Amino acid sequence: MASRVAVDRMVVTGHRIDVPLDWNEPSGPTLSVHAREVVAAEHAGDASRPAIVWFQGGPGHEVAFPDHRGSWLEQLLTRYRVLLLDQRGTGMSTPLEARSLPVSDPVALGDYLRNFRQDSIVRDADRFRTTLYGKDTDWYIFGQSFGGFCSLTYLSTLPEHVRGVIITGGFAPVLHETEEICTRLFNHVATRNAEYYARFPGDAARVRRIVDRLESGNEVDGHGQRLSARRFLMLGVKLGLQHGAAELHGIIERADNDLEQLHVLSGVVHAHVAGTMSPATNPIYTVLHEAAYSNGTATRWAAERARLADPRYAVDAQPVPYFTGEAVFPWMLDEVRELQPLRDVANVLAEHDGWPALYDIPRLRANKVPVVGTVYWDDEYVERTMALETVSLLGNCRPWITNEYEHGAYRVDPARVAGRLFSMLDDLTARG
């Protein structure tokens, strides 16, 4: 039964459907998948208003309850009925939690979790389309970051009822496998590190002191969990944010001052490091992060192999080690207490060979659905040369290539970004 509430000039209606755990076995076990339809209050009675499904970044990140009408959501509400999909395993869609896993055996759990990639997510979304709007109804897709990966999988498998697609920072590297993707990303993150140390030259000595202290001491947080240097260096994920370099500089200044005056890192610094580990309660992100890139081959902890192969990321690198970017490393599942229940299944999935293809390249080349989107020149999370390859092969696609923004531009400057993309989509649609 649908639940409906009024929130800040919006009508928010929750919907729940059952879908197959494995779409290749439709009569087998099922999952519950949840989504919220959000409509501007002034358009609540307009059944002709087109729907757009929102594919969240991730993998495995849930969509927050729409508690106010503003920012990126407001832009979509000017044109659409917005379906906020809780991707399977997230939010209110049969959620996964490291402390309460559905299967204890790691091999069986791996078999279960292999059904939580893009190919299953888009089928869940299309089932919502037919259930809520009718099997012959067309709709739009918006994919942010990993949501763009989902959008390209949707175009590869179920494009018939898609009227248009908007992708922000999510043109997946469809022509490459996980190992090459991770190697190129680490090369790009190294460039971001060099730019960071050039902008904040005093931080080289600070980071060197912090790393040496973490390597030689026993720095623990308020819960008694030790902080290693390599986990501290994962703060480099902030270099992909709009003002992330300045934020990182502030953390480094604070950490260096803490060690000088307190001889330990403050709770504030530990909280920043813990924030990079927020996927601790997100099994999908932890165990399927690399698998979200795989079109067939085993990932075998590709990011860790890329890190170890590049001496700039070694903890003892001179004059200063480089920060790592967004990645999941196998040692995290030993060092972070909350992740330890996922260690065995993560290793099982890292060795899994024979992932089904996520993208149909000939179909993407022949695509007729209007697609617009952003490619960020300095994107830390989706490397631009591979994103541009995808843009070039995708039929009926018009990109906005920009160095004005980082990866999260749609949340930073939603009115301008949405306005430009909507205009591009309208123009591409009009051209037929």
- Active-site residue list: 145, 379, 407
Helix (H, G, I), strand (E, B) or coil at 143: strand
- How many whole angstroms separate alpha carbon 349 and alpha carbon 299? 8
- How many whole angstroms separate alpha carbon 76 and alpha carbon 10? 12
Write out the two tokens for 109: 């759990």
- How many whole angstroms separate alpha carbon 351 and alpha carbon 31? 26
Listing from the earlier edge strand, what are the strands of the sheet with 81-86? Answer: 3-7, 10-20, 30-40, 81-86, 51-55, 139-144, 162-168, 371-376, 397-402
Where helices occur in 171-301 by DSSP H, the ranges are: 178-199, 203-216, 229-232, 244-261, 267-276, 283-288
Contact 403, 376 (CB under 8 A): yes
- Element (DSSP H or E) covering residue 304: helix 302-309
Phi and psi based region of residue 134 (left: phi greater than 0; alpha: psi -120 to 50; beta: remaining): left
The closest alpha carbon to 52, from 30, 71, 72, 69, belongs to 72
The distance from CA 192 to its chain's CA centroid, rounded to whole angstroms, is 19
- How many whole angstroms separate alpha carbon 96 and alpha carbon 112? 11
